[in-house]
């Protein structure tokens, strides 16, 4: 017997973060670091919500300029 889908789970996984600032030579450099480990977090969350019978949609490294997600 197959369980009915309860709903949707939308996971946003940002590994890369960007914010620039000028260094001592005036060159723009990224001042934020990469978030390592996000792949494991996504896999764990996906597994959990699939076990709870949700549809799972994962988007990675979104920016504030994405607009509409659906």
Contacts of 63 (CB under 8 A, 6+ apart): 18
Q: Return the structure tokens found at 24.
A: 């001592």
Q: Has this prediction a pTM greater than 0.85?
A: no
Per-residue pLDDT of the chain (70 residues; tens, 9 = 90+): 578 889 999 998 887 766 667 777 777 666 667 778 889 999 999 999 999 999 999 998 877 776 655 5
**Residue 35 phi/psi, 5° resolution?**
-95, 100
Report the pLDDT value the prediction gives residue 11, as an integer from 0 to 100: 94
């Amino acid at each position: 017997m197959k369980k009915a889908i309860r709903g949707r789970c939308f996971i946003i996984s940002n590994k890369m973060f960007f914010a620039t600032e000028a260094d001592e030579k005036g060159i723009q450099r990224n001042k934020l670091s990469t978030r390592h480990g996000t792949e494991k977090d996504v896999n764990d969350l996906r597994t959990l919500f699939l076990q709870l019978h949700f549809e799972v949609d994962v988007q990675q490294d979104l920016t504030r300029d994405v607009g509409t997600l659906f």
